[in-house]
Every structure is written in structure tokens, then in C-alpha cells.
Amino acid sequence: MFPYFKNLSREEILQLTNVRPGEQKLGEVIQTATDLAAALANPGIRYVLLGIPEDIGVRANGGIGGAHSLWGPFLRAFLNVQAQKALKPGQVLLLGSFQLDDLMQASETADLAALRALTARVDEAVFPLIQQIIAAGKLPIVIGGGHNNAYPLLRGAATAMGRPLNCINLDAHADYRATEGRHSGNGFRYAKEQGYLKRYAAIGLHRNYNQEAIMETFATEPDLFANFYDDIIAGETDFNTLIQQGLQHAATAPMGMELDLDCIAGVLASAATPSGITAAAARAFVATCAQAATLAYAHFTEGATRLRDGRQDETTAKLVAYLVTDLIRYSK
């Protein structure tokens, strides 16, 4: 039914899990599925974890590739977390990941136009599965991949729910560039123009890296809201206020939650920054959203353990494991 998707088996998960006497890891008890329909019909399942390991959309936006490298290391980090009751392992289905090898191979020699066409093919692969998961009343937790995947997530969610979705995005960039062909910088713009996105709150933006024209659009369209990390630096606000402002705008209905790891200082990402929020602040954002809002999906994107320019940092995977466990632990 989903030709680009591969389920993870129990055996594959256990191979990634370091089993120790006297301990129990998430990999030993997390739920798996051989039959998707049966798993989604299980009322005990609440969260569905899946990966989209690709960097086509990032490179289609002129960015540094490497976002495809996070999924495997994330799995190893996540599956070796202690299986505490607060993490509700019986409610978490580890489904698997999209296998986009042929598209990734084609992208290696593609020009910008071809990369954008390939990004659109990723969209078509992703959104039907997201639609089915949300239609079954489950919450997809998606590990990217590039931020281009916000568009198929919003499309799948809105189609399943029969109405446009609200969204909050903690990010250095608004990702609201022109609809010039699909890439990681315009997923929210495409979703808005095609009727899948209603209210959009982009929080913690960096003034240096957002076009003036985009900011003018945010200032004039009531469905769009933005605030800025720079205002914390200037002493004009604090991070919790930025979160609360975003939630006030977006949490009026079920919403998508997006976190682009390039807003966290020192984290390996396609647009890594030396100046940004801390990892602890990112965790606070996730916990606050999980407690305060009804989430339709959660998306952790743009992180990498290995960039195409040679930079490496395996700790990105462990940080994302913290973020996912925070989401599960604190969600209402």
C-alpha cells in the first residue's frame, strides 16, 4: 500500500538494543507492526514513530545535505532508553521508515529543478501514510529528513481531519519562501496556499535569516504569527513568553508541532548555528506544547549526525531521543 515504506521487525529492533540483566530498554517492549491496519485499529496504541531519512529537500533549497543521517543513530539512542512507565511503551508503535533510496540516488546528480521535482515525489510518498495514521486517531512522531516534510505532514493531517490544521514551529527560519518548486524552505507556504494550513505560528526566528518580504507577509496576514529569538538577546522578552505567544495563536484547535534543530546552538543541522536556544529550552518547548495543546502530529527535523561537508556529531541522535521521550512523557 505504501511502496516506499518499510516496517521495522521485532528482530531488527532488538539488534539495535543493548540488553542488560536487571534492566529493561524501550527496544525490548516497544510495539511493532507486521499488519499496519491491525496495529492502527489497536485502541492501546497512541503514538506512531517513523522516520523520513532524506536530504533532497534541503539540497533543493541550496542547503548542506546530511539530514538523512539522523534516523539510524536516533533509533539506537531511543531504543536504549530505560523503559519506564512514564514513557508508556505499550502505547508507542515503532513503525519504521521511508526507504527513498532510488530518489536519493537520482538526487546525487540532479540540478536544482530536478531536486525540486524529486522533493515533490517525497511529498507524494509521505502524505498518504500520515493521513491513514491520523485518521485512525493516532499521533505520528516523525523524525526527518528536511523541513520540506512539513508539507506532506500538514497535507496528510488536514485531509484526515477534513479541515485545515494549525501549526507551531520552533525554528530559526519561517520556511515560508515562494512556491517556486518544492524544497525545505517553502513547505508551510505550499500548505497554506493549498488549504492544508490555517493558523501558523513561527517562533524563535532569527532576524538575520528571514527575508524582509516574508516578514512583511507575516505582519499583514492574520493567520500568520512570528516572534524572534533576537528579542531575548535584547532583553525584551524570555523564551517561555515566545512559546506562550505561539500557543495562543496556534493552540485554538488541534495543531502540528514542528521543531527544526537548526535553532539550537551547537547542534549539527543543515543550517547549524552558534547562537540559538539551548537544548534544555528545546526540551521545554516540547514539554510545554505536549501539556498545553492537542497535537495532531510532531515533527523533529533538519538534524544530522553527518553532514555532506564532513562535519559529524553523534550526540544529535541522543538529543532527539530526549525530545521524543519528553513529548511522550508530558503529553496530555
Give tens-digit pLDDT for 251-292. 999 999 999 999 999 999 999 999 999 999 999 999 999 999
Mean pLDDT, the chain, rounded, equals 97
Please tell me the predicted confidence (pLDDT) of residue 247.
Answer: 98
Task: For residue 50, give the C-alpha cell.
Answer: 517513523
16-56 confidence digits (pLDDT tens): 999 999 999 999 999 999 889 999 999 999 999 999 999 99
Report residue 255 CA to chain centroid gap. Answer: 13
pLDDT at 1 over 80: no
Domain around 257: 5-330
Tens of pLDDT, residues 45-80: 999 999 999 999 999 999 999 999 999 999 999 999
The domain that holds 196 is classified in CATH as 3.40.800.10
Report yes or no: 18 and 80 within 8 Å, Cβ to Cβ. Answer: yes
Instruction: Count up the domains in the chain and report the number.
Output: 1
For the four alpha carbons of 190, 192, 195 and 199, in that order, the dihedral sign comes to positive
The Cα–Cα gap between 49 and 28 comes to 16
pLDDT at 326 over 80: yes
Q: For the whole prediction, is pTM greater than 0.85? A: yes
Contact between residue 239 and residue 233 where contact means Cβ atoms under 8 Å apart: no
Write out the three cell numbers for 184: 525545505
